[in-house]
Each structure stands twice: as C-alpha cells, then as structure tokens.
Structure 1
Amino acid sequence: MELSEYCALDATALRELIRTGQVNAAEVETAARQAIESVNGDLNALTQPLFQSALDHDPDGPIGGVPFLVKDSGPFARGVTFTLGSRSIRGAVAAVDHELMTRFRAAGLATLGQTTAPELGLSYATESLRYGRTRNPWALERGVGGSSGGAAALVAAGAVPLAHGNDGGGSVRIPASACGLVGLKVSRGRTPSGPLAGEAGFGLIAEFGLTRSIRDTALLLECVSGPAVGEKYTLSSPDVRYTEVLRADPGRLRVAVTTDAWSGVPVDLQVAGVAAEAARTLEWIGHSVSPATPGIQPDDIVEGSMLAAVATGAALLRAPVRPDPGRLEAVSRALLAETLAFTALDVMAALDAQNRLTRAVGTFFTEYDLLVTPTLAQLPARHGELDYDDPGYSMRDWLRRIYQYGPFTAAFNVSGNPAISLPLGQSREGLPIGVQLVAATGREDLLLQVAAQLEQAQPWAGRQPSVFAG
C-alpha cells in the first residue's frame, strides 16, 4: 500500500479494502508505522516509541486491522506503561484493560502506540514538562489543544485515521477544533468508565475518540457504546445503528445559535463568523434557526468542573505510591493541596452547581433540538500561552484561565450532554476553526445526522495541514 493512498483514507475505507482483500492488514500496519514515524519528529505527539507489535485485537472485528493509538491517560491498556503526562509517575503499568479498551480490541483496532497529554489532563495545551510541546500540523508554532492533543495531531497529520481520546471539559472537542478534526463528547453513560472506577471525574469525563469523518465517528460509536455491567451511569443504545442514522432525515429541527460566551470573554471575530455561517447553512438546509442560549451561570461551570479536578487529585493521593510534589507542575501541586483541603461541604456545593447547570441545560433542550456555538473562543493558541507550570494559579483560577480560551465546552461535561466539534472553517491564516453542536442527553443520533448534513454542505475532506504524512 502506498503511503499517499493510506493517508488519504478514513477508517471506513481502510476496513473495506482489508475486508475485500485489496490490501491486507499487515500492509496497512506497515504504512501506518511509516506515516507515524514520518511526522512525529515534527509533532512530538508520542510518549514512547511505537509498540513492537500491535496490541492484541480481533482482526475480524467491524474495524479489523485499522491502525489506532491510545492516549496517555491510563491505566488504559493492559501491560502498557502510563504517566498521565507527569514526571512524578514512573514505572506505572496498567494491570487490566479499561472496559473501553476491551471494546476497541473487539472492534479490531490495531493499537500501535500512545499519544501525549498534558499533566493529569488538566490543560487545554499539550505541553507537559515531561514530554515537551506537541506541535500543531497546521502551524508548528501553535498548540494542539488539550488534553487529547497528541491524538489530534497524529490524526490530523494523516498518521492514523482515528485515535482514542477522553473529554472532561473539552479534551476531545478542543483538540479537534485546533487540528481540524471531528471530536465527539458522548453523553454521560454512553461509553463505559470501568472496571477500576464507577464513574470518571464524578461523571464529567467521557471516553471516546477523534476522527476525520462523520462516518468514522458513527462507526466507532457503534462499536464501543452501550452499558457495561456495574456502571453507575448507563444509556441504552438507540433502536437503529449509528452508521444507519447518517442516512436518515432528522426533519426540521429547532436550532439555537450563540457566539457569545456565557462568561462574557471575547470571541475572535473569525471564530464567531464560522459558527454563524454554520447556522446559516442549517437554515438553508431547512432547519428553523434563531439566536438563543441556555441560562448557564459561568460560576456554576467552574464549581461543577472542580468535581473532575478533585477526583483527579484524589486518585493520585490514593495511589499506592503518592507522586513527588517536587516533580509535579505548579497547577498539579495546587490541585493536590486543594484536594486535601476539600471538604464534604465543598463537594455538596459543587454538586449543587452541577444540578443548577444540568437543569438549566435540560430545560433549554425542551425548547430547542440543537445548540450551535464556537468550540474555542480563539484561534489555536501559540505555545506557552497556557502555562500549567505557573505557580500563581489556584485550581479555580486555572479553570477560569483555560475557560477564557475555551469557554463553550465544559458546561456540557458538567451537564452530561453530548456535543461534537466539526472542522467547518479556516482562518485567514489557514488555521482550523471548529463549530460545536450540542443536543439533549442521549441524542448522539441527532448530532450525527446534523453533522452529516453539514459535512455534505461544507465539506472538509480535501483540507491538509502543512505537516502531512502523505
């Protein structure tokens, strides 16, 4: 298989070539390894050399033989070391698979390596002291977002067609926006959190992945969604397959659009313009579009997000070996101190904030079917603009800082709604601009249908960054 052919294909197309015998999985893996190695020197998106051989998987699965990468957010894949992007974690190895990893293996994904993330996954910049800066294939002086930044860089650069990511405040959608990809944050309970946790980040963290096409997003979701035994939050699967809903007409929808951040932070005019253009496209398609926004209080986003933050801190403090604070970055040190000081009353206050926000969003979606916003408020940030090692931040101050850059995403982690970022525009400088669609809880099917309409009306498949494996 020629490298240029491999890089041009999404997972659905690669699987079809393998299934029909036009190529074999070994050829595809060889091309993937070549592609990854050809761009990683520029991007710095891997935590370690590629695995000597792909992790065990079912070659006859629905996506059998398609190359894949997992994020350094372990413990995730049995037998694989992980660091959570931190110098303070050494020698940690996952003893069991995350339930989602079990499903990735059953789907047939051939996992070849592990991607970079910021320390503890608590930044919108993938620039840890442990691994350095992960660079954006569209502009190497720009960041890739966070926390699933390494995954986004390599998918955007054509190295793999899709990769694992998770989202606790925008960590799939923000890298998708910064790198020109599709990034779906699933509903709370749509994908599993176990077996080692009953919930991830008090239910704010959702596991899934990044892709280059809507049909790949639908295929991946079809393979890994659904309840697992013992999960705290579960959603039943829809009556139809996600790959089939793409072809269904969602009908005339009530679409709300806002380009104003709830916190009042400024939104770049180019970014706002792309979101407004997406709304006009939806109106042209036949939907009813009007300006409207949920009654979200910005302080409730911050307080609700503290649940995920202190859950992360508690996981470190309860680990068999506590991390060395001297080897943690400054915001992580602040987080551990604040986690130790967090009381049951503080947890209840954060849960109250989550309740207020969740009810406001739920009420909004009784009046509207879809919400359109920008994904980020700004163009992809330059390296160093979000300095996680700055000792001047408390945890709440850090959340407010990153929410100036990405004010639109975290609310829906707190509320549990599904949201997707689509690469619908580019700036004058040629930088990707993402648009976020949000729907009622459990309505991934609706998001995918509308996303497919936008993909057809405003196609992005022909765009390639300056660093591209093909």
Structure 2
Amino acid sequence: MNTAQPDSLKPKAVDALPLSGYEGFDAMDLAAHIRSGQLTPLEVLDAAMARADVRSQINAVALRHDEQAREAAVQLSRMGQVERNNLADKAPLLGVPFALKDLGVAMQGTITTQGCAFFKDAVASQDSTLVQRYRAAGLNIFAKTTTPEFGQTATTESRLFGLTRNPWNLAYSAGGSSGGAAAAVAAGILPVAHASDGGGSIRIPASHCGLFGLKPSRGLVPMGPKMLEGWLGLSAHHVVSRSVRDSALLLQLTQGPEAGSRTGPQPGTVMDAIARPPRRLRIALMEVNPFGEPLHPDCLDAARAAARLCESLGHSVEVAMPQLAIGDMFASMGVATAVGMLSTVSTREKELGRAAREDEFEPLNWRSLQLARSYSAEQVFIARNVFDQAARTLDLFLADYDLILSPVTATPAPLLGVMSLDQSYEDFVKVAMTGPPFTAMFNMSGHPAMSVPLHWNAEGMPVGAQFAAPFGDEATLLALAAQLEQAAPWKDRRPAL
C-alpha cells in the first residue's frame, strides 16, 4: 500500500516564521520568558497563529478566536514586568497561547460544535468551570481543535471539518477523539492543548502523535457547571503536551471539586511528584489484547520497550493481567455513550425549538441516537453497575501492583478513512475495537492512565505505551513519566515539517 504523502498535502516550505525558537519551548518556558520580559504575549500568540496558518494542511484547528485572543495579548503585553511578575503566583502561565477541544467545553460567546452540523451555531452563554480555571492560570485561548462528531471514534475525521492528518505522515490518522489537539501540539502550533478522554481520546492521539497524554481519575478535573459527569463517568478532561511538567502543572492548576461535585480524589500537589524519582514500582505488563484478538507487533514492541526501560531504572515488571468481563463492559459503554449523546442532542433540540435531522449527523451516530431512544432506564442503571464492578476488579488487582503497563492501542495509527463514522456499521465494527481495547477499561473504572512516547516503529511513526495507576494516584504516574522522560528524552523528536 502506498502511504507516501501527496505533494499537495505536504506542509509548504516557509523561509521564516515568527519567533524561530518557539517550537523548542514548552508552556512553562514560554511563561518564564514572558515574565522575564524576553518575550511578550503578543509575540508568542503571533508565533502560534502563524504556525496554525502555515500548517493548515494538517487540519488541526476547527475554529479561531483570533480577535479576542489578540486583544488579550495586547493588553498583557502593555503590562510592566513588575505587574506581570506580581501575577505569576496566581497566573503562572500568563500569556501562553492555548486551544480548547471543540467538544464538551464552553467558552462564553464562542461556538462549540461537538464536530456536528447540528451544533454549528451553538454559542455558549457561559464558560465551563474548566475554562474559567484555564483563564485564571493565564492561558490565552485562541482556537478550538478538531474532533470527530461527539468524539465517537478513535480518529479525527468529520463531515463538518474534514480529515485531521498526522504530522508524522499526512496519510495517517492523528487518532481521536482529541486528534486536533494532538496534531496541533505535534506540529509545533502549541506546546500543550486541552483534550478529553471518554474511551482513550487523550491517550490514543498522544500515542499516534508522539506526545505525553494523561487521563486523570474520574472527578478530579471539573466538567461543569451544566453537567458534572459525562457519559456516566466515562469522560475526563485534561491536556496533551510535549513535556510532562506542562501536564503536571495544568493538572495542579485545574484539579479539584466545583460547586455541586461529589466525586473524585482529593487534590494533591502533583508538581512535587515530578521533582524526584518514584520509589521502586511493581508493574504488571499486559501482553494480550483483552478481546483475544491479534495485537500488532509494533504495539507489543512499544509496551515491551517501556518494560525494559522501567527495569533498567530499578522497577520490577512481570507479565500479568486482570480478569475483566470485557464483553459486558463494552456493551455497557455503548449504552452510556449513546445515551449521553442523546441527552446532548435533546438539549439542543429544546434550545432550537425543532427536531434534529438525519442529514445533520454522521450515519453511525444517527444510528446510535435511534438505538439510544430504545434503551430502558434499567439498561442504563446496569451499565453503571458494570463499570463499578470493573473498578472493583481493577482495585483488587492493583492491590498487588503499583501500575499496569500495556499497549495503548491494538494497532498503530491507521490510515485516514479506516475508522470514519461516515461508513456502514458493518465496515466500522471490523476496525473500531482496535482503538480502545486497552484504554477504555480505565474510563469505565475511573482509574488514571497515561500514554508515554517511548517507541517509534520502522516506518517512523510513534507508538505509545500506557501505564495505569490506582484511583487518585496521578502522582505516581507523573513521577514515573518524568523519570522516563529524563531516561529516554522525546522533546526533540519532532515530525519533519
């Protein structure tokens, strides 16, 4: 199969982009340079916008909010250094450009489409709690990144915005559903971007794009105020990033309860965790696809390479896996995601005063919406109980191990079109479960899990390794990630753009 990139899709050569060193900085670097006066918020915003323009073939950006971002950058740039430094404790990322995923969050006065034509004019009346916290951290939000419709597949392709391409090879998927966020970071547009994860949607794009991606424990990062738990608890919000420390800092700045929330571990000072190596860890290595289906050698190689690196750092690794009711779990996941989508659509129907039309949705999502209307309250209740039982099984397993190591996906990044929602159900199901067999179990159980970029295959494509921890133990994941980042640095491994 020819996977060479057509000349028409290759990023155009540019003699010079603003701020030539921009792509070597993470968010904390940029913030430090802004505080010191070496850079201004306007300079770094211009650098991000220019790269979004020049690398538009990747199609990572769905919506732009240039005017309000530029106004904010101008105001911040007019501040004196003393004034900026006085804000450093409260807003440690002051002036750093940022993007939201175009799904599941709201920024007042702007549109969030959910990747769906039915929501193409849905203007938010208020900020999400998470967006409030991003703003309080000092981030300057200038865009929203692409997502598949309602985040319902492990690729980022939609009728509304088209194909999002992997910066490592534009013929391949960037993963989903936070594929736009991951593509934007991998392409050097941003050092870090908001992402969300209902079945692997942070970790899968991070794996496919050579980035770090952490899904937090259920309830740790706020999702309100309109809905405090997404997809019966499956969904979690955080970021994809190039550096571990950016992820740790943003988790520290955004974690913790909001008014009305009743779940989630107690917030901790996770930045402290990355300052020192973790203790000797007992790690269980999963080498078998939970569905009993084949596992691509590249994905197994990535997990085994991570295991060897962990052993070289003094950790203990042994092959073991929890015994889960995988069939029941994924059937329940189908109920939860479909009913969650139906609830979102029904709310929009009430706002518009009309029913949604079939031509406003991808075929597979329209099918799911019709099925969701037939599900009973008992089925939804059973689904949540199945998730709770999976959590219990994993809690008991993790009593004997500190972490679970596995592949992120069952296959490397697929070619574009393979996992599209715009195809027949029969074709889709043949490939759909190669994406989340390892990731989704931790959405159902609520445990934290991360994808770490430690392996590239013979074709030069990144393939991540997943680590999962006991509920609420993000500190151990981040401590290990920082240790791995130091032992096998990935910061300078970038696609040739």
**Alignment TM-score, normalising by the size of structure 1:** 0.94
Indicate which of 371, 387, 411 corresponds to 1:354. 387
| 2:370 counterpart residue number | 337
SS of the equivalent of 1:407 reads coil
Give the C-alpha shift of residue 401 in structure 1.
4.2
Instruction: Give the secondary-structure state (helix, strand or coil) at the position aligned to 2:60.
Output: coil
1:19 aligns with 2:39: no
What are the residue-to-residue correspondences of 1:157-172 with 2, within 5 Å? 157-172=187-202
How do residues 93-172 of structure 1 correspond to structure 2 at under 5 angstroms?
A: 93-172=123-202
SS of equivalent residue, structure 1 residue 341: coil
The amino acid of 2:51's aligned partner reads A
Tell me by how many angstroms 1:458 deviates: 1.4
Per the TM alignment, residue 167 of structure 1 is displaced from its structure 2 partner at its CA by 0.4
Matched, 1:254 2:269: no
Measured at CA, do residues 179 and 218 of structure 1 come closer, stay the same or move farther in structure 2, by a change above 3 Å?
A: same
State the Cα distance separating 1:425 from its structure 2 match. Answer: 0.7
* Letter of the 2:286 counterpart: T
In the TM superposition, what is the alpha-carbon distance from 1:398 to its structure 2 partner? 5.8
**Amino acid aligned to 1:444:** E
1:83 aligned residue? 113
Q: Please state whether the residue corresponding to 1:47 is helix, strand or coil.
A: strand
1:39 to 55, 67, 79: 55
Provide the rounded CA distance (Å) in 2 between the counterparts of 1:49 and 1:277.
Answer: 39
Q: 1:347 to 1:14 in 2, by over 3 A?
A: same
TM superposition shift of 1:376: 1.4
- Picking from 2, 7, 10, the partner of 2:26 is 10
**Which residue of the other structure, out of 273, 278, 282, is the alignment partner of 2:301?**
273
Match of 1:315 among 321, 333, 344: 344
Q: Does 1:298 align with 2:313?
A: no
Matches within 5 A, 1:418-433: 418-433=448-463
C-alpha distance in 2 between matches for 1:360 and 1:126: 32
Please give the alpha-carbon distance, in whole angstroms, between the structure 2 residues aligned to 1:230 and 1:399: 38
Distance (whole Å) between structure 1 residues aligned to residue 139 and residue 118 of structure 2: 31
- Map of 1:199 onto structure 2: 229
- The aligned runs of 1:58-69 (5 Å cut-off) are 60=87, 61-69=91-99
Instruction: Give per-residue Cα distances to partners, 1:280-322, cap 9 Å, x unaligned.
Output: 1111111111111111222133133131332122221232234
Which of 71, 76, 87 lines up with 2:101 in the alignment? 71
Equivalent pair of 2:248/2:271 in contact (CA under 8 Å): yes
Secondary structure, in 3 states, of the residue corresponding to 1:108?
coil
Say if 1:198 and 1:232, in contact at 8 Å, map to a contact too: no
Offset, 1:199: 1.2
Q: 1:48 corresponds to which letter in structure 2?
A: L
Q: Deviations over 1:340-383 (max 9, x none)?
A: 10101211221232122111111111110001111111111101
CA distance in 2, matches of 1:327, 1:318: 15
Residues 105 and 131 in structure 2, CA contact (< 8 A), matched pair in contact too: no
Hey, what does 2:311 align to over in structure 1?
A: 283
Residue of structure 1 in register with 2:262 after alignment: 232
For the residue of structure 1 that corresponds to 2:62, the secondary structure is coil
Post-superposition Cα deviations, 1:181-230, rounded to whole Å, max 9, x if no partner, equal 11110000110111001311111100111100111111111111111121
CA deviation profile, 1:225-277 (whole Å, cap 9, x unmatched): 11112113232112xx2222112232111111112111112111122112101
One-letter amino acid matched to 1:385 = V
Aligned residue number for residue 51 of structure 1? 66
Q: Give me the whole-angstrom Cα distance separating, in 1, the residues matched to 2:421 and 2:293.
A: 20
User: Are 2:486 and 1:456 equivalent residues in the alignment?
Assistant: yes
CA distance in 1, matches of 2:99, 2:214: 17
Instruction: Please identify, of 316-325 and 438-447, the stretch whose mean Cα deviation from structure 2 is larger.
Output: 316-325
Taking the aligned partners of 1:309 and 1:432, their CA distance within structure 2 comes to 31
Provide, for residues 56-98 of structure 1, a one-character-per-residue CA deviation record: whole Å limited to 9, x for no partner: 6997311111110011114511111121111222321111111
* Deviations 1:6-33 (CA, angstroms, capped at 9, x unpaired): 1111111111111111111111111111
Q: Is the 8 A contact 1:168 1:205 kept in 2?
A: yes
Q: 2:418–2:431: 8 Å Cα contact kept in structure 1?
A: no
1:212 and 1:266 map into 2 onto residues whose CA distance is: 30
Shift of 1:134: 0.5
What SS does structure 1 have at the residue aligned with 2:67?
Answer: coil
Query: 1:327 maps to what in 2?
Result: 360
Q: Does structure 1 residue 188 correspond to structure 2 residue 218?
A: yes
Instruction: Find the aligned partners of 1:422 and 1:219 in 2 and give their Cα distance.
Output: 17
> Which of 416, 438, 444 is residue 414 of structure 1 equivalent to?
444
Secondary structure of the corresponding residue to residue 458 of structure 2: coil
Query: Structure 2-normalised TM-score?
Result: 0.89
* Percent of residue pairs identical: 38
**Gap regions ≥5 residues in structure 1:** none
- Bigger drift between 254-263 and 84-93 goes to 84-93
Structure 2: 5+ residue stretches without partners: 1-16, 77-83
- Does residue 402 of structure 2 align to residue 369 of structure 1? yes
Cα deviation, residue 47, structure 1: 1.4
Name the amino acid aligned to 2:423.
Answer: D
CA contact (8 A) 1:300 1:356 kept: no
Give 4+ residue runs of structure 1 displaced > 4 Å after superposition: 55-59, 397-401
CA distance in 2, matches of 1:233, 1:411: 19
Please tell me the residue identity of whatever aligns with 1:420.
M
Amino acid across the alignment from 2:480: V
Whichever residue aligns with residue 44 of structure 1, its letter is N
Residue 4 (structure 2) aligns with: none
Q: Which amino acid aligns with 1:457?
A: A
Deviation at 1:426, TM superposition (A): 0.4
Equivalent residues of 1:302, 1:400 under 8 A apart: no
